[in-house]
Structure 1
Amino acid sequence: MTSTTIPAEVPAEAHYEQQYLDLMRRVWTQGDERIDRTGVGTRSLLGASMRFSLAGEAVPLLTTKRVYWKVAAREMLWFLTGDTNIRELVRQGVHIWTDWPLETYRKATGEEISRDAFEARIIEDAAFAERWGDLGPVYGAQWVNWPRYEAVGDGLYRRAEKGHNQIAELVEGIRNNPGSRRLLFTGWNVAEVAQMALPPCHMTYQFQVADGRLNGLLFQRSCDLGLGFAFNIFGLSLITRMLAQQCDLEPGEIVWQGGDVHLYLNHAELVEEQISRTPGGAPKLRIKRRPESIFDYRIEDFEVVDYTPQSHIAAPVAV
């Protein structure tokens, strides 16, 4: 393939999405082709960064394809509950986590059940959902219930009933110690990674208060640039906006940093179609009320306006 030279910085007059399309082109044309965990294969680069402004209600939704932002918002709200079972997501019509427990169920039972039938059983049968719908201690479990251990004597410890709530502590830190360099939370709990259906890809979020604005940064150890990034950057925008509102700050900018940034080889049609498109428009994200705490937002509290994306581009998920 022909190499493409990407400028170090996107010109100020360029559309915010152009840096994403440039990175996609760079990964596709220059990335190292490799066999990955899924067996599908990827083209991959290590290390990438993008910056987006949230000023004036701006939100970096991709415009070169439709992004179903309510799905991403529902997922973020689900994370903040600490829930790790897909049942509540499925009830809301969110299917993005179903493939992992479905694959586990098929391998364990030999039953070639369809996704629709599996999800129907998850909703209808609480015992089935408890047995087969749990993802292990993924994101939300670590964000709001990171394990604590208490001494019980003779050098022995037991897990405390209530874990550490990183999100609640973050809110207090932003409010009361805005100059801190410890305004962050992470899902990468080394002791529990092996128990997770999928170890956290968007693993560490860090925040900075500057001149009355809240800036947010996400380090993502692994990024599916073709499918996952659109949700990840919206999620970073959303949590930054929610935290800013709760802490009486204006949203500033967000910084996305990727570790292993990759495109799947079976996404060729998606990639080539998307990088051929021209981005346009300036969508806005509005929060319609201020709830009592960061944990009390509802999907009805969010509205996206002036979003006129180009048509959806379908592509398979690698499990």
Structure 2
Amino acid sequence: MSYADRVFIDMCRDIIDNGTSTEGEKVRPVWEDGTSAYTVKKFGVVNRYDLSKEFPALTLRRTAIKSCTDEMLWIWQQKSNNIHDLHSHVWDSWADENGSIGKAYGYQLGVKHQYKEGMMDQVDRVIYDLKNNPYSRRIMTNMYVHQDLHEMALYPCAYSMTFNVTKDKDSDKLTLNAVLNQRSSDVLTANNWNVCQYAVLVHMLAQVCDMKAGELVHMIADAHIYDRHIPMVEELINREPLPAPKFWLNPEIKDFYQFTRDDVALIDYETHEQIKNIPVAV
């Protein structure tokens, strides 16, 4: 069975059985009808995925690999904060009349900073260090910039990546590992979406830096299931997991800025049917 399925099932079961409820408390999110969107949640969830062994896409339901890659590239490659640059509609609820989500996500990665080596944005700094200082313990990004929070339509959920390079014995290549820090995760709608898109990012950066993809560690401060999602999650985690798919990344691409969503694919990706009409709290 897919390892990602097992991680997801165990996480959801733990949240539902052992989590704490926010029902009746003061919460920010609301449903479309205006009522408060309460959750059952667990604090400090940590999940590890070895990308050298398996790509962490759920088989319990389909994760749209091209769409989640497109969003990741929108943030990390295009460094855009405008939904008109995005193929999907996942950000429509947070955009203004011009399509902007404010100084959030891609905007922050595109801001240039002064380093000893010159002016670079955060993504270019990561690539520079991976190629020139791979054993640095300072290869990281941060999109949670407090001075700009008031100009963001949504505070970043997945806000920080820390990259760390190791080398396996008898290997001629370095291994790229990463920690994804997430302050908040809507487990049903977005958990595997985020896992897959950052797994793709690690694979892409590893390829352009002549490394192998290693571990992705996903650290979630608040992993929650919304009250109206619980029956859907119960149905999902009672399904029988299927074998994990194989991941394909276009081997011809050696420049991170040349990747497109069409340069990724999941081979032999068999899944159960999608969960439809999931209500989204905003």
User: In which range does the TM-score fall when normalised by the shorter chain?
Assistant: 0.7 to 0.9
Number of residue pairs matched?
Answer: 262
Partner of 1:4: none
- Report 1:131-170 matches (<5 A): 131-145=97-111, 164-170=120-126
- Does the CA contact (< 8 Å) of 1:223 and 1:260 recur in 2? yes
Partner of 1:114: none
Measured after TM superposition, the shift of residue 233 of structure 1 is 0.1
Partner of 2:28: 37
Partner of 1:6: none
- Does the CA contact (< 8 Å) of 1:61 and 1:230 recur in 2? yes
2:47 is the counterpart of 1:50: yes
CA–CA distance in 2 between the matches of 1:66 and 1:304? 11
Measured after TM superposition, the shift of residue 146 of structure 1 is 5.2
Which moved further from structure 2: 287-296 or 134-143?
Answer: 287-296
Q: Which letter maps to 2:218?
A: W
- Does the CA contact (< 8 Å) of 1:64 and 1:274 recur in 2? yes
Partner of 2:69: 73
Partner of 2:16: 28
SS of structure 2 residue aligned to 1:304 = strand
Measured after TM superposition, the shift of residue 308 of structure 1 is 0.4
Partner of 2:6: 18
Partner of 1:198: 154
CA–CA distance in 1 between the matches of 2:62 and 2:253? 29
CA–CA distance in 2 between the matches of 1:166 and 1:14? 33
CA–CA distance in 2 between the matches of 1:227 and 1:146? 32
CA–CA distance in 1 between the matches of 2:3 and 2:194? 19
2:212 is the counterpart of 1:218: no
SS of structure 1 residue aligned to 2:68 = helix
Partner of 2:93: 99
- Does the CA contact (< 8 Å) of 1:246 and 1:290 recur in 2? no
Note the alpha carbon deviations across 1:27-60, whole angstroms, 9 max, x for none.
112211114311211111110111111115x310
Which of 237, 246, 254 is the aligned partner of 2:199? 237
2:62 is the counterpart of 1:62: no
Partner of 2:171: none
Partner of 1:256: 218
Distance 1:146 1:192, change over 3 A: farther
CA–CA distance in 2 between the matches of 1:194 and 1:278? 44
Note the alpha carbon deviations across 1:205-262, whole angstroms, 9 max, x for none.
1111111111111011101111111111011101100110011001111111100110
Partner of 2:170: none
Distance 1:196 1:179, change over 3 A: same
CA–CA distance in 1 between the matches of 2:2 and 2:187? 20
Measured after TM superposition, the shift of residue 164 of structure 1 is 4.5
Which of 228, 245, 248 is the aligned partner of 1:283? 245
Measured after TM superposition, the shift of residue 271 of structure 1 is 1.0
For structure 2, the 5+ residue unaligned runs are: 30-35, 168-173
- Structure exhibiting the larger radius of gyration computed from Cα positions: 1
CA–CA distance in 2 between the matches of 1:292 and 1:51? 27
RMSD: 1.9
Measured after TM superposition, the shift of residue 292 of structure 1 is 4.6
Determine what percentage of the aligned residue pairs are the same residue.
Answer: 31
Measured after TM superposition, the shift of residue 147 of structure 1 is 6.8
Q: Which letter maps to 1:37?
A: R
CA–CA distance in 1 between the matches of 2:246 and 2:110? 29
- Does the CA contact (< 8 Å) of 1:245 and 1:290 recur in 2? no
Measured after TM superposition, the shift of residue 192 of structure 1 is 0.6
Q: Which letter maps to 2:71?
A: E
Partner of 1:113: none
For structure 1, the 5+ residue unaligned runs are: 1-12, 105-130, 149-162
Which of 168, 179, 192 is the aligned partner of 2:135? 179
Partner of 2:281: 318
